[in-house]
Amino acid sequence: METVSILFYVILFLSTLLSYPFLRKQKRGLIPMNRFKLPPGSMGWPYVGETLQLYSQDPNIFFLTKQKRYGEIFKTHILGCPCVMLASPEAARFVLVTHAHLFKPTYPKSKERMIGPYALFFHQGEYHNRLRKLVQSSLAPDTIRKLIPGIEDIAVSALESWAGSGQVINTFYEMKKCSFDVGILSIFGHLDRGYRENLKENYRIVDKGYNSFPTNIPGTAYHKALLARKRLNQILGEIICERKEKRLVEKDLLGHFLNFKDEKGQTLTEDKIADNIIGVLFAAQDTTASVMTWILKFLHDDPKLLEAVKEEQKAIYDSNDGGKRPLTWAQTRSMPLTYRVVLESLRMASIISFTFREAVADVEYKGYLIPRGWKVMPLFRNIHHNPEFFSDPHDFDPSRFEQVAPRPNTFMPFGNGVHACPGNELAKLEAFILIHHLVTKFRWEVVGSQSGIQYGPFPVPRQGLPARFWKDSSRDVCPLVRDLGKNSTSIEATKLFCS
């Protein structure tokens, strides 16, 4: 209820604040409305628009209902902004790829202030291109393959902690911790424990305040987050200074930032480096954690599929001397069924349900006007769940990725175009490694209700998927007893011989 109340006040504030300038522009005639017609759709109530309808139900149902009524392009007014929604692959490509220069990324100023104005996903043009290349090079396969041992350590440590506690855990919350640690590893390599804990504590405060009401009043979550963000800059400044003093040449993300020089010999300022580090952590944590939480739910809900994934991973486990040797890059590339499970989880969950852009000029698309200043939202989830592109779209079916690749621009779990997620390979690698160790050494059971979705803001199973984990005791017995257990009519027979 607290989240709903906060959202309500945010809605009223933003609607009043943002609608007024737009209405003034319309009155002045700065936005020509007569050359082409606006897309069909309702703009809702004055100022508030249709925001209350959006948040009074599942957002996906809101968008799907609109699409069924008006078609694959329609207008609405939410969060204080007039918007055009696009639910076709062609329209998504138009906005994100072929005419991307006409649509700039747009975020509320409060979000930009929290992450940092120099973060690459707030920009387009030359600055964005340079920073994106740096991030991509540090997260390319040749670089992240060296992170496998570190990611394995993080995954195994987390799983053993969950199993050892004997408690029901909030899976999403714990996955966020794992994703954060992997993010730290990819940015800094093996960072000093003191720095790592300081970064984690202050980032947690920033994360908590990111989606709060943006009031800079002492004691509020947003105010605390702004103070923590300043402390993050100080911590990152100390790390950068130490790296420079030791003259370390590393191939991690920080190393790429520190070694960068443009054509004029200019290096990146510490503020630019800090903003982009925080941006990468933000982009990597919640989205990856959400996907991994959904993977656990989908596998738990399909015992037959889970057994097939276990068999695939057990073959790799056995080839590594019963898990005594670490995973190799080649092995993570040779998990066809697991790979399809990850792809289908990305499609079903559609963590990034849509993306925000803003038209920088009046744009005509298929006879409709998209006025300058209007928000434009390609609806990835609507495309991923369209039966025209994916048969029985509400069924979890990894086999749909087995033989025929999806049609172009119909599967965009990491976005598309120049602003597509540069860390997608790292996210998939993290999922492969966690799944391998989970299904070969542990078991889990979802506790309580197994249906429902909550948004915070990314979709996750209700209550973060409460689950209990335990070690798979069959991995710890001698071969003779294991064989006996296989021939027994009950798994309990194996446990009896083990005791």
Binding-site residues for heme sit at: 421
Cα three-residue angle 206-456-213, rounded to 5 degrees:
55
Tokens of 422: 């540069």
SS3 of 102-132: the string is HEEECCCHHHHHHHCCCCHHHCCCHHHHHHH
Contacts of 92 (CB under 8 A, 6+ apart): 86, 378, 380, 383, 409, 412, 416
* Euclidean distance between CA atoms 111 and 377, whole angstroms: 18
Contacts of 414 (CB under 8 A, 6+ apart): 352, 420, 421, 424, 427
Contacts of 120 (CB under 8 A, 6+ apart): 127, 128, 131, 132, 135, 276, 279
- 3-state class percentages of the chain: helix first, strand second, coil last, to nearest 5: 60, 10, 30
Strand order in the sheet with 466-471: 169-170, 466-471, 442-446
| DSSP secondary structure letter of residue 211 | T
* Cis before 422 (ω within 30): no
Q: Which residues are annotated as a binding site?
A: 421
